[in-house]
Amino acid sequence: MSEQDATIEQLMESLAEQLYRGAQAEVLATVTTALARGTIAADIVNRGLMLGMQRVGVDFRDGKLFLPEVLMAAQAMQAAMRELEPLLIGPYGGGTRVARAVIGTVKGDIHDIGKNLVSILWRGAGFEVIDLGINTKADTFVEAVERHRPEIVGLSALLTTTMPYMRVVIDALRQRGLRERLIVLVGGAAVSRAFADEIGADGYGRDAASAVDLARTLLARRRGGSAAPEGVA
């Protein structure tokens, strides 16, 4: 069956599989085909790309995929999002968006694949994301929160040796009187729900795809209603 004959659902299934394989050229071609056939950018992200990345995250966690394969998938995802991001931003133009978030990999850790994927998926879901990069000190998180006034802070760490620094960041936010108005989410290969509870985080994302639903759920709970887009200062 050619791409022209495929249904949109079949195209999205193909897109997820192509992304899983890290086949960047095929991913971009399928994105182009889906757009030409009237599929909105958000559906391409949610029904195709996110499903592929979710598979990547699960299989990487379970040892079925290795870092080079994850990198290929991440590069394909980033290439697709470069095409889609202008279309995704459109519905949230004029200063209206779901929420503002600050995210970074904590001090001592230079791994950013998971963080980058969360950033991409949050942006695709309508969040404004301030990405602080890797090896980020607690003071940098505090300064970013004071400057940008986000509702969400995301902390990432891959290594067991850098996980404890997440608590340092949370404590620094608390000392500056900022913690109570924030939703703090943590994630990374070595991070667990029990660890998130132990350090006083609000939530734990086991993979990049689940971080979107988690952020929206906690926002809705805090706002006392729906997680529909609303303006941020």
Q: What is the pLDDT of residues 143-185, one digit of tens each?
A: 999 999 999 999 999 888 999 999 999 999 999 999 999 999 9
Beta-sheet pairing, 230-231 with 96-97: antiparallel
Residue with tokens 């133009």: 93
Using an 8 Å Cβ cutoff, are 184 and 219 in contact? no
Model confidence, pTM:
0.66
Query: Which secondary-structure segment (H or E) carries 150?
Result: none
Residue 229 has a pLDDT of: 37
Q: What is the pLDDT of residues 184-217, one digit of tens each?
A: 999 988 899 999 999 999 999 887 778 888 999 9
Domain boundaries, the chain: 8-92, 96-231
Residue 195 region, left (φ>0) first, then alpha (ψ -120 to 50), else beta? Answer: alpha
Residue 89 has a pLDDT of: 59
Tell me, rounded to whole angstroms, the distance of Cα 206 from its chain centroid.
11
- What's the sign of the alpha-carbon dihedral 144, 146, 149, 150? positive
**pLDDT higher than 50, residue 106:** yes
**Bridge partners, 97 (sequence order):** 230
Q: Do domains 8-92 and 96-231 have the same CATH topology?
A: no
Choose which CATH entry (2.160.10.10, 3.40.50.2300, 1.10.1240.10, 2.40.40.20) describes domain 8-92. Answer: 1.10.1240.10
Q: Identify the band that residue 231 occupies on the pLDDT scale cut at 50, 70 and 90.
A: very low
For domain 96-231, say whether CATH 3.40.50.280 is its number: yes
Residue 3 has a pLDDT of: 54
Structural Rg of the chain based on CA atoms: 18
Distances in Å between the Cα of 122 and the Cα atoms of 117, 128, 197, 211 are 8, 8, 23, 8
Q: What is the pLDDT of residues 24-71, one digit of tens each?
A: 999 999 999 999 999 988 789 878 988 888 788 778 878 898 888 988
Backbone φ and ψ for 102, nearest 5 degrees, come out as: -110, 135
- Give the residue with greater pLDDT, 190 vs 231: 190
Average pLDDT over residues 94-111: 83
